[in-house]
Amino acid sequence: MGPFLSLVTVLAIAPHISIASHVSHLTHLHRQIARASTLPAGWTAQGCVTDNPGARTLSGDTFTDTAAMTVESCVNFCNNKGFIFAGRLNLFWSGQQPPPPPQTVPSVGLWKSLGCYNDTAAARTLSVPVGVTGNFSVESCTDTCFNAGYPLSGMEFADECYCDTEFRNFGAPATLADCNMPCKDNGTEFCGGPNRLNVYNFTGTLPHGPVTPPPPGGGNTGTPVFPASNLPSPWKYAACYVDNAHGRIFQTELPDNQNVTVESCIASCAAQNNTLIGLEFSVQCFCGNTLVNGATLGAEADCNMGCGGNATEACGGPNRLSVYSAQPNATVPSLPVPIPKNTSLPSGWNYAGCIQEGEGGARVFSHEIINEANTTVDACLSRCQLYGFPAAGLEFGNQCFCGDFADVTATSQGPAPEDTDCSVPCSGDLIHLCGGPDRLSYYTFNNTIDVWHTPANIGRYEFLIGGVVVPLVATVGINGKVNFLEKLGTGFPNSTGAYELDLSLVDDFSKAWRELHVHSDVFCSGSLILPDKAARVLNVGGWSLDSTFGVRLYAPDGSAGVNGTNDWEENFNELALQRGRWYPSALVMTNGSVLVVGGEQGSNGAPEPTLEILPTPAGGQTFLFMDWLNRTDPNNLYPFLHNLPSGNIFVGYYNEARILNPKTFDTITVLPNMPGSVTTETAGRTYPMEGTAVLLPQHAPYTDPLGILPTLLGRLSVCPRNGSCLAWLVTLPDGTFLIVNGAEQGVAGFGLADFPNLSALLYDPSQPVHQRISILNNTIVARLYHSEATLLPDGRVLISGSDPQTLFPNGTVKFPEEFRIEVYVPPYLNQGFTQPSYTITETDWAYGQTYAITVKLHQGTTANMRVSLVAATSSTHGNIMGGRTIFPAFKCTGNNCLITAPPNVNVSPPGWHQLFILDGPTPSHSQFVRIGGDPGALGNWPDFPDFQVPGV
């Protein structure tokens, strides 16, 4: 989800955990923050707070609801658990002051801390287990040992107390950080850890010599105890087992219960479909279906403690479990002592030992996957490899981490002192180890996962011109000029909402820009280019109220150096959408009409889970409800729409995808979910995670399957910090894609993007998988939310915009609104070659027909020439609506060539394209051609006197 507070995951902080955070009150958000209406008494909003998955700002507990998360449900969850802070995208506070964080108490009266010591159940460092009366804390444990006459006192596993007169069994100091479990009843103190003791030494005079202390749980009162026999069928007593000889032999422990009985433990565990129970220390109930960690039988006489709720029933003893079974013949399945998995690993992976986390709790790897019940080594390694990570670590039995070798070098404190520090079995594979407390079972990949090409020719960024606005929508018109749309009323003062840039006049700022006008706020609208004769730009939807119903049209006119006279046409009373939409997508379908899909009913409004057609058919309302849009709001805005060679329509939304019938819009096929990020399958691709999706090139004779490339949340090099990339893919005339802009962390809107991506990458689908990316040049300009990238007719890429509203903790702007406009010069224009050129007379093409061009090449011959058709598009929020690249068939005699147009509307839906020729790697300047005409007669629409129509 990204290293900021997730849209759907609550992070909470307990009263005993301190928080040091910087709260910034955002004054200008791209998506308005809805305020909670009813909160528990005392709770107030504290603003937006940064977060990191490797070191959570709120670390107490989590609550997830992907469908119905509200501020109220988040805060109520935390309030009911006694937490004082709660966070979604904003932090809420109960008004109570948090106490200090846990610490190793240096002294309690005359008891002085000796630090942290190792311990095992088989060979106790302090050999006398004692029961503590009342709340468990350092004070209560040391008091118990004092009263029993022992000078050494130790706390372990948060709620176990041990006494002795000396250290035994070679007990020795351990790293203090290993004693990391807060005391059960005092969260400000540490009470040991797994197989670790916080040890204290009494420096005064004891009241008497050692006497037999009360055992844990009340102990044996002298009354004989027996295994319970009158139990619900098929439960029976099995045997007395040793606990902690090699680790806990049950995986699930229920809360201590002073009134526990064998019957109540059975009822609790059976309700969770467990077939084994174990009782220990009179008050502890454990559940499972198999024993783990090499469980061994103990002497029956050692299970001599009566149950807290029935003193005649055997409920184990110190490190002894009375085990009862519901399996046939009271069978007790038992698994061996788990070992590191170092054989039969996924190909290329090797076990590299047990390593330590970083100092002060710093994570070695930041990409964390938690699977409480099913973590395995193989699944973890395969997941990391899928997303291009060559290093992996497993911790605490249920945590999988992915990263790089450099992470280990930079952060880990090195190998664990003992390899046995990785002692926790994998939650999904109990015979193998998955790390331990602050210890990682470390694995490395010894083959190459991804090849990142570093060519000598990497292209370059160039400053083009200063801007007049921060554009939200960028469109190259058939007049060769670039049309920009920006917010009207919610943007810059006195803005008209629309401007056009004449690329031939960029050396003269006063002449380069022409002011245009829209009549409502196009903030977060959708745009595309119509197939009519004028190649009009259509814009739909908008910010709020009437603007969400907006249908706007602009016919590009004028020419290089000559201003046009047309302007945007809009009249809400005459021409409007049936449903108001904010963040909609649009697509020219194969029949020539326009499909408009999804969005919300205005800024942060209710979902608009419908689709409709333009021109609006006669006969009343014709919009259709789509349950899959309704279910995935608000993570499905700007859905991806593409016409397929089958004639059907692909739609991608959130992390899902499906194929629709273009006539009924029924679902033909539900596709497998698009892979999410390395940390979660539920990571989305559409806004607000904001990836993009492009069609891979089609080549005559168009028999190969059509590929769709959605940008990846996670490791696409642009996104090493595991956030939403916000990256833009721009179709280039040679069939490659330029990847620019975006962030290495965060999501769209709310000022939640950080670490701007300043690098350009090149994606080449002709190369083998995992070898398709080349690292190109860098810029100094941060291009985050609301930036755009658009292919120009000369083969360069225009790069504009950015207004992320990301703030420093003190509220000042971290990344300012960006007016500068750049171009990227791809490698094919950065090698000193002269661009080829061509002449053409026929620019209105019918399917399957041939059309003549005369070419002029400078490096090669027509034998190595290529021809490409790049669909005319409009770009907003990284979504290139209508994008498509076609390499048509052609043949040449000398410099005279005949190009065969695509065969049908399924291969190439009706519309305008930039026609390029390529002299080896070098593209020409393009000219616009129309393929397929205007079958939907959009050129005659709309039929109102204040709209000019170009005709079909």
Q: Residues 931, 902: contact at Cβ < 8 Å?
A: yes
Q: How far is 293 from 352, CA to CA, in rounded Å?
A: 22
- Name beta bridge partners: 839: 854
Final residue belonging to a domain, choices 829, 845, 870? 829
Q: How far is 83 from 387, CA to CA, in rounded Å?
A: 36
Q: How far is 723 from 745, CA to CA, in rounded Å?
A: 4
Stretch among 6-20, 83-97, 112-126 having the lowest mean pLDDT:
6-20
* Element containing residue 512 per DSSP (H, E): helix 509-512
- pLDDT score, position 2: 29
Domain range for 284: 236-325
Residue 77 has pLDDT above 90, yes or no: no
Backbone angles phi, psi at 70, to 5 degrees: -135, 160
- pLDDT score, position 222: 53
**382 & 480 share domain:** no
**721 & 761 share domain:** yes
Q: For residue 753, is it within any domain?
A: yes
**Helix residue ranges, H only, 234-281:** 262-270
**281 & 427 share domain:** no
Regarding predicted confidence, which is higher, 28 or 551? 551
Give CA separation, 391 vs 230, 407, 445, 802, 849, in Å. Answer: 54, 9, 6, 34, 54
The pLDDT of 770-776, averaged and rounded, is 92
Q: What is the largest CA-CA distance in the chain?
A: 112
Q: How far is 799 from 461, CA to CA, in rounded Å?
A: 9
**143 & 246 share domain:** no
Give CA separation, 238 vs 227, 264, 634, in Å. Answer: 9, 17, 53
**565 & 692 share domain:** yes
**758 & 658 share domain:** yes
3-state secondary structure of 799: strand
Final residue belonging to a domain, choices 829, 852, 871? 829
Backbone angles phi, psi at 405, to 5 degrees: -60, -35
Neighbours of 99 (CB within 10 A): 15
**489 & 365 share domain:** no
Pairing, β 284-288 against β 252-253: antiparallel
What one-character-per-residue DSSP string does 120-176 give?
-SSS-SS-EEEPPPSS-SHHHHHHHHHHTT-SEEEEETTTEEEEESS--TT--EE-G
616: its two tokens: 């609006």
Q: For residue 654, is it within any domain?
A: yes
Q: How far is 71 from 663, CA to CA, in rounded Å?
A: 41
Give the chain's mean pLDDT: 87
Neighbours of 557 (CB within 10 A): 17
Q: Residues 246, 254: contact at Cβ < 8 Å?
A: no
Q: For residue 878, is it within any domain?
A: no
**491 & 404 share domain:** no
- Give the CA dihedral 712, 716, 721, 722, nearest 10 degrees: 20
Q: For residue 562, is it within any domain?
A: yes
Residue pointed to by tokens 């109520």: 76
Which residues fall within 8 angstroms of residue 246, CB to CB, at 6 or more apart? 122, 293, 294, 337
- pLDDT score, position 89: 46
Final residue belonging to a domain, choices 202, 224, 258? 202
**288 & 361 share domain:** no
306: its two tokens: 């009566």
Stretch among 124-138, 153-167, 836-850 having the lowest mean pLDDT:
124-138
Query: pLDDT digit string (tens) for 345-385?
Result: 999 999 999 999 999 889 999 889 888 779 999 999 999 99
805: its two tokens: 């509203």
Q: Residues 422, 416: contact at Cβ < 8 Å?
A: yes
Q: For residue 870, is it within any domain?
A: no
> What's the chain's length in residues?
952
**815 & 693 share domain:** yes
Regarding predicted confidence, which is higher, 690 or 604? 604
As a whole number of Å, the CA-based R_g of the chain is 34
Q: How far is 753 from 818, CA to CA, in rounded Å?
A: 15
- pLDDT score, position 248: 85
Q: For residue 353, is it within any domain?
A: yes
Q: For residue 665, is it within any domain?
A: yes
- pLDDT score, position 712: 56
3-state secondary structure of 205: coil
Q: For residue 246, is it within any domain?
A: yes
The pLDDT of 585-593, averaged and rounded, is 97
For residue 84, name the pLDDT band (cuts at 50, 70, 90).
Answer: low
* Burial class, 454, CB count within 10 angstroms (exposed 0-12 / middle 13-18 / buried 19+): exposed
What one-character-per-residue DSSP string does 18-62 give?
-----EE--SS-SSPPPPPS---TT-EEEEEE---TTS-SS-SEE
378: its two tokens: 């193989």
For residue 12, name the pLDDT band (cuts at 50, 70, 90).
Answer: very low
Q: Which domain CATH number covers 653?
A: 2.130.10.80
Give CA separation, 510 vs 332, 465, 564, 777, 934, in Å. Answer: 86, 11, 16, 31, 37
* Element containing residue 74 per DSSP (H, E): helix 71-80
Which residues fall within 8 angstroms of residue 771, CB to CB, at 6 or more apart? 450, 451, 453
What would the 3-class secondary structure string for 293-304 be? Answer: CCCEECCHHHCC
**383 & 425 share domain:** yes
* Structural domain count of the chain: 4
> Which of 68-77, 120-129, 478-487 has the largest mean confidence?
478-487
**514 & 616 share domain:** yes
696-724 as b/e: b if 16+ CB within 10 A:
bbbbbebeeebebbbbbbbbbbbbbbbbb
Query: pLDDT digit string (tens) for 863-915?
Result: 999 999 999 999 888 788 889 999 999 999 999 999 999 999 999 999 999 99
Assess whether the previous peptide bond of 173 is cis (omega < 30° from 0): no
